Structures are given as structure tokens and as C-alpha cells.
Structure 1
Amino acid sequence: MTIEKTTIKDLVIINPTAFQDERGYFFEAYNQAKFHENGIMYDFIQDNQSFSKRGVIRGLHLQINPFAQAKLVRVLQGEILDVAVDLRKKSATYGQHFSVVLSAENKKQLMVPHGFAHGFSVLSETASVLYKVDQLYHKESERGIRYDDVTLNIDWQVDANEVIVSEKDLILPGFDGIDWEF
């Protein structure tokens, strides 16, 4: 397993070491000791899984303190563009986003720490996404940013006429309308 730094502090890509032979493959998707050795100190308490079809954009979602969630995101089937937006006001990269393609094939995972909004778009016909969180869902702490916010200007790599977004995500505020901080 290797840990790859991104352009945003504390946001890292996990590259598992896969062992492959004629039967298929095996890899450790999560090893707490190895994560801790690399300074990734979260205690994950729940796994969430979603299934979506091509063009679906989920996000940008987060929970505010004291219920902020760290997420370890991976794809079990298909391919997504995974996106994280830095919302830590004291960060040098506040308001910047990072994206990476995660797929069942590349086996990469994105470690999204507290203080980030998170979302993804589905690039394949369908995708199953699994993510670990270190905090339970807390409805009153749930927040989000509209996926097509002009300030963030995220390229979701999905054709505009294919985009599918929930009603709940369509009413989220833009980046300039958020009033919380980490």
C-alpha cells in the first residue's frame, strides 16, 4: 500500500498493493496499523455503499462540527470522478477542489479528511461506491454545496444532458452562500 499526496494538504490517495494470479486478485483495502503509520489517524465506525448509473452526480456533501465526517472512498464496480473541496478557512487551499478517477480497475481510494465537502460523478454505465466514515450520520449537521457552483467550477466529466442530480442536491447553496467553517 502506498500513500500518494495530492495538491491539497491532508487529502491523500491510497494505492493498495494488489496480488493477482489466474484466480483473480487480492488486496488489503484498509489496514488501520498501516494508516496510523502514515499519519492517517481515523477510527472508522461505519461503511456506506451506493449504486448509481451513468451521469449521476452525488454531492457536494458534508457534516459540520462536531459531527464532521472523514471518508475513505473506493469503487467496487465501475468508475467515478471523486471530488473533494477544501472548506478549512485557515488552509492555504481553502475553496480549492481536487478530483481523481477511482475505479474497480485501478483500486485507488481517496482519503477525505474533516473539513471537506465531497461528491462524485459516475463515468461508467453504473458504479458501486463504498466509503468508510468515522462519524455517524447526523441530520442536523448535514450541509452541502451545489454541484454546479460557478465559483468552484468543477468539471464533473459528464455531458450536461446526461447529468442526474437529486432534488435535495439541486437546492443546496453555492460556495459563496455557505456560513460554516472548520
Structure 2
Amino acid sequence: MIEGVKVKKLIKHCDDRGFFMELVRDDEDLLSRFGQASMSMSYPGVIKAFHYHEKQDDVWFFPSGNAQVVLYDLREDSLTKGQTDVFYMGEENPIVLVIPKGVAHGYRVLGNKPAAIIYFTTQSYDPNNPDEKRILWDDPMIGFDWKTKYR
């Protein structure tokens, strides 16, 4: 796994009323600090990739729908520089994924329904100086094939 990436398997506490699930706590070693919480929704088949941050870490969670999440380590000083990791997240696999600064990330919505993402950052978004660097979804440096492999 890419150096600094963390995966937290979530625990659902279910009863006859529904369920409760903790995502991120201040007594865990997931975030260096809290900056902002946001939510987004994407339609089936949409690819939102790639971007990375120089100042902030991200924490991603997909409460509905399913996504293929792709990470690529851009950090010069990392032991895992140039490594690609793929995670399948969402209703079928409820996990929290910590993405360190300097790791490019993006996702593709899987299945036939939209996917919602809730994400936390260690910095608040600054529209005057956004900490968001873009890389094309099909950039040859990353070289990720987003097509589903029929096996």
C-alpha cells in the first residue's frame, strides 16, 4: 500500500431501527488536524480524476453507491513513489480511506446508481488560493486503465 495511506474498516451497529456507524473520531490517528467536511454526488460511469494537494490530507467515505478509487503516489521522497493503489469503496465495502498530501486520487462510479462521497480535509478550502492540482484522468504518467475487465 502507498506510504501514509490508511484504511479504516467501518463497524455497523445494527438493530431493528436501522444502523449507526462512526466515520472519523478525534482520538484516532487518521487526521493531523480537522479542516472541513464536504459531500458530493456523481452519476453512474462518471470518472472524477485526478487531483492532488500540497497542503492537505483527505479522508474519503462513500455512504451510498459504489466507486473504484485510484491513488498514485507523486511524492519524490516517498518509498512508494510511482505506486498505484486501487480500492473498491461504498455500500458493498464501507471503509474510510485516508489520502496523504502528494498522492493523486480519483474515482469512477460503479453500477447503475449515483455514488455519494463524504470527505474530510485537514485544511479548509481557500477559493483565492486553492490547494488542488489537476492531472488528466488518462494521463500517461499514471497510465491507469479505467475500463472494467470482464473475466
TM-score bracket, shorter-length normalisation = 0.7 to 0.9
More helix by share: 1
Question: Is 1:51 the equivalent of 2:41?
Answer: yes
Shift in CA distance, 22/133, structure 1 to aligned 2, threshold 3 Å: same
Distance between the aligned counterparts of 1:142 and 1:75, measured in 2? Answer: 21
Cross-structure match for 1:137: 125
Which structure 2 residues correspond to residues 4-43 of structure 1 after superposition, within 5 A? 7-33=1-27, 35-36=28-29, 40-43=30-33
Which structure 1 residue ranges, 5 or more long, are not aligned?
1-6, 160-182
TM-score (norm 2): 0.86
Percent sequence identity over matched residues?
30
Secondary structure at the counterpart of residue 142 of structure 2: coil
Q: Distance in 2 between matches of 1:41 and 1:63?
A: 15
Higher RCO (C-alpha under 8 Å, 6+ residues apart): 2
Quote how far apart the aligned CAs of 1:155 are: 3.1
Q: Look up the match of 1:112.
A: 99
Q: Which runs of 5+ in 2 are unaligned?
A: none
Contact 1:18 1:26 in 2 (8 A): yes
CA RMSD of aligned residues (A): 1.8
What's the CA shift for 1:158?
5.1
Structure in which a larger fraction of residues adopt strand: 2
